Structure 1
Amino acid sequence: MRDLPIQPQRPFGYFVHHQGRGHAERCAAIVNALPRSRPVTVFCADPKVLGPMPANVTVQAIPSLFERTGAERDMDQLQTPNTLHCAPVGWPGIRQAMGRIAGWFASDDPALMICDVSAEIAQLSRICSVPHVAVLQHGDRSDPGHRAAYDGAAGILAPFSAGLAQDDWAPFRHKMHFAAGLGVSGDLPDRQAARAALGLEPGRRMALVLSGGGGTGFTAAPLGVAARAFPDWQWISIGKLQGDWHATQGANLHHKGWVDDVATHVAAADLVISSTGNTTCAQVLGAGLPWIVVPEWRYFDEQLCKAQALAKAGAAQHLPHLPSSAHAWRAAVDRALTDHDAAAQGRLLAPDPAKATAAWLETLSEGLWGTTLTLETTG
């Protein structure tokens, strides 16, 4: 018996949705944890969201699958089948994007295609005889399109703890890998140093309102009500915010918009009120703070289902919307402070999710393709 040399590794493909930040952050964490011998080709409509990539990674820009360019010929009279979500007919950009991916399948013979996220590209991979890994997000994804992507997947990557799993995922739990905190650094600054960096008064409590980048953010008026209800607190909002002409804002409320030091703000806070995007949730869980979650609108009720899962796990208080009165704010904040369970939050974290995910992907690929050929010899 003799072992033939291992052939050059088949590449991994990776589709990265460019809405929000979580998809790109997960991609960066995974490709940096993969072996440098593993080639990776990343497809994204906005490569700027990806940041620097290691030398074994090639980035291919593709047209957006949902943004108009003016060249579309709308054919809205054609019904969209239940197996598809965003597949309008007559869009040249979609044809070009799918053509480039399918062409790469044919030319590079990939080992895996990681889809974060697109049920259509997941199904395209399966149709082209390429095993795919579907990234799973919360929400009501019981429709035929999502189920086809999950049923046809070689593996399903869930970038959060198994403690946040939905009951309806039971049919495919056997091929899921949970990666709590994937894409988010778990390191937070020292609390006192963070407070000093933000110029907070010693002993004064700070409430942080945090919304992500995938939508339009919270509206301003309820935050003015909150700040007036807690005049001895400092209130700070970061992320997107919708203005209200009727909003009144006191001196203890500061809207900062986008900031580069989110971790500093989280570390300095005494209470967090946030939406439930994946990156936001991982950051707050790492801080172990009293937490109120208010889901923003997302397709398939993604943030709503994530908020419900967090509440069920004892990690956060879920509110359907920001409180609309001072007494409602006082009740919500008092409950968040009283019911805070840092241990429950800690159980939803993992020590090195990127390394574990990279190992899972390599093991999955090896199980599908093998890495070494063993031949019988005579003489």
Structure 2
Amino acid sequence: MTAPIGYFVHHQGRGHAERAAAIVSALTPDRPITFFTARAEIFPPLPPHADVIAIPSLFEPPATSPHGFDHDRTPDTLHCAPLGWQTITHAVATIAAWFDAARPGLFVTDVSAELAQLARIASVPHVAVLQHGDRADPGHMAAYEGAVGILAPYHASLEQPGRPAWMTAKTHYAPGVGIDARTLDRSEARAALGLPIDAEIVLAVGGGGGSGTPATPLTLGARAEPDSLWISIGEVQQEWHATPPDNLRHMGWVANPEQWIAAANRVVSSAGNTTVHMIAAAGRPWIVVPEWRYFDEQLWKARMLGAAGAAVTLDHWPSHALAWRDAWAAALACDLSRQTRLIDPKAAVTAAAWLDRLAGWRDAAQTPDLIVAERIA
């Protein structure tokens, strides 16, 4: 009997689900997978050996306003653990009941420090997905220390300083896992998208986990380059005082961001994990402007991209034309091979093999302690 793997997937943005689906699709078909998430629709197509159990959100209040102890102080060992939310009680009970019934070989958390600790308390080996950011707090460190492995969905060269040796010793790096690493031809991409073949195209890329790219800085950049075509994909924050020129187009959310990136000459983006790796795979002069995230996740990823020489990183969006000009000059001087080296086309395959090995300890029909328990009963 092959023990199943449980997999919690956070529903903010798309990256958590996309990398989870890529890894699971690379797993051997005889390893059953059960996903737990608050939004089943965020997944791309999944293989037959994977199923999805919908649970209430751990982060959004229930429809009925809680009372009593909801205002109580949260311990340092937890991040989001309000009291009195029946939705959280039900989600935790669903996962705990599955632990007991399925007897999994492994539980992966992408991401929840609370569920990582739940797995450890329930005596289920777990793997914690590691993201950039200030994560030396007791809650994160308890999740990492209690894990049998840590999965980092980025290249080891982007690892931020200060990680303890015991963390890096059990970390598996999966650079670019979840993206399509194939290099697309610029001319073919433009033809498919109906874009002019000879134009200088600047693409602004916003991820799905935040409020979007501010439109006003893009109007400044586009007006400073009247002979270029500026395009944005993803959410855009509009402001009343923005004066968009004719060479700026907002396309909104698109299903094929890799094709738009391939069509571009230059790219400016946020620092979401999926966004970063799609652009790195293409290799383009690149400006990164991090969005606000918990624990300064995007800020740290941007810092490490800058330290690796892969992109020009800014603390905030350019506020005038000269700032854009200086940033693009620095981006054009970057060695683009430093971007493409951040991607491993086999990242999903090697990550799946690593998880399969970790889960293999329970690949027996029954464990002796359970046999004894059943005989006593």
Q: TM-score range by the shorter chain?
A: over 0.9
Counterpart of 1:78 in structure 2 is 72
Counterpart of 1:136 in structure 2 is 130
Confirm or deny that 1:363 pairs with 2:357. Answer: yes
Structure 2 residue corresponding to 1:147, chosen from 135, 141, 147: 141
1:330 to partner: Cα distance: 1.0
Q: Tell me how far apart the structure 1 counterparts of residues 351 and 302 of structure 2 sit (CA, whole Å).
A: 24
- Where do 5+ consecutive residues of structure 2 fail to align? 367-377
Confirm or deny that 1:18 pairs with 2:17. Answer: no
Confirm or deny that 1:200 pairs with 2:220. Answer: no
Q: Tell me how far apart the structure 2 counterparts of residues 118 and 209 of structure 1 sit (CA, whole Å).
A: 30
TM-score normalised over the length of structure 1: 0.93
Q: Do the aligned partners of 1:133 and 1:156 also contact (CA within 8 Å) in 2?
A: yes
Counterpart of 2:46 in structure 1 is 53
Amino acid in structure 2 at the alignment position of 1:345: Q
Confirm or deny that 1:43 pairs with 2:36. Answer: yes
Q: Tell me how far apart the structure 2 counterparts of residues 229 and 54 of structure 1 sit (CA, whole Å).
A: 48
Counterpart of 1:292 in structure 2 is 287
Counterpart of 1:62 in structure 2 is 55
Amino acid in structure 1 at the alignment position of 2:145: D
1:9 to partner: Cα distance: 1.0
Counterpart of 1:4 in structure 2 is none
1:352 to partner: Cα distance: 0.7
Counterpart of 1:213 in structure 2 is 208
Secondary structure in 1 aligned to 2:251? strand
Counterpart of 1:116 in structure 2 is 110
Amino acid in structure 2 at the alignment position of 1:328: A
Confirm or deny that 1:276 pairs with 2:271. Answer: yes
Secondary structure in 2 aligned to 1:167? coil
Q: Tell me how far apart the structure 2 counterparts of residues 15 and 77 of structure 1 sit (CA, whole Å).
A: 27
Q: Do the aligned partners of 2:8 and 2:110 also contact (CA within 8 Å) in 1?
A: yes
1:372 to partner: Cα distance: 9.9
Q: Tell me how far apart the structure 2 counterparts of residues 103 and 370 of structure 1 sit (CA, whole Å).
A: 20
Q: Tell me how far apart the structure 2 counterparts of residues 57 and 76 of structure 1 sit (CA, whole Å).
A: 36
Counterpart of 1:160 in structure 2 is 154
1:371 to partner: Cα distance: 5.9
Structure 1 residue corresponding to 2:297, chosen from 302, 306, 328: 302
Counterpart of 1:186 in structure 2 is 181
Amino acid in structure 1 at the alignment position of 2:41: K
Instruction: Give the fraction of aligned pairs with identical amino acids, expressed as a percent.
Output: 54
Counterpart of 1:247 in structure 2 is 242
Secondary structure in 2 aligned to 1:215? coil
Structure 2 residue corresponding to 1:33, chosen from 26, 51, 60: 26
Measured against aligned partners, the alpha-carbon deviations of 1:125-157 in whole angstroms (never above 9, x if no partner) come to 000000000000000001000000000000000
1:67 to partner: Cα distance: 1.5
Q: Do the aligned partners of 1:289 and 1:340 also contact (CA within 8 Å) in 2?
A: no
